[in-house]
Amino acid sequence: MTYTASESKRPMLRSLFRGLLRRCPSCGIGKSFKGYVKVADSCSSCGEALGHIRADDIPPYFTILIVGHIVVPSILYLEQTAPPEFWVHMAVWPALTLLLTLIFLPLVKGVVVNLIWALRIRGDET
């Protein structure tokens, strides 16, 4: 595939890695977020437009999927090996689930936003 001057290459793996770092998918220097999970209008370093990228419900879905696959097997393993008291379950697992969700959500959103950028999805597809 050949690209014109206005249409440059967008390597997928590089974009996904930059998404994990919450960096601009184009230059990798500027930040792609202006808050916790709010996408910046444009990169502060290279000026790449990012504000039009809408990730919608995909980041929370994947975050729930990842956190669920960490927490549920951990609960089952602990229950089978050394069952703790009920109050320990009620103190540890909700807190761990919340903590992991807060850690993974911006990382997953960064990956999804950069994936959308790399695939050149405009958002007006029907």
CB of 37 within 8 A of CB of 111?
A: no
3 state SS of 31: strand
pTM for this one? 0.86
Please give the single-letter amino acid code of residue 90: M
Q: Looking at residue 40, what DSSP letter applies?
A: P
What is the per-residue pLDDT for 9?
83
Q: How far apart are CA 40 and CA 26, in angstroms?
A: 13
3 state SS of 121: coil
In which residue are the tokens 């602990």 written? 78
What is the per-residue pLDDT for 125?
60
**pLDDT 10s per residue in the chain (126 long)?**
444 444 678 889 999 999 999 999 999 999 999 999 999 999 999 999 998 998 989 999 999 999 999 999 999 999 999 999 999 999 999 999 999 999 999 999 999 999 999 999 876 665
**98, 99, 108: which is closest to 60 by C-alpha?**
108
What is the per-residue pLDDT for 107?
97
What is the per-residue pLDDT for 121?
87
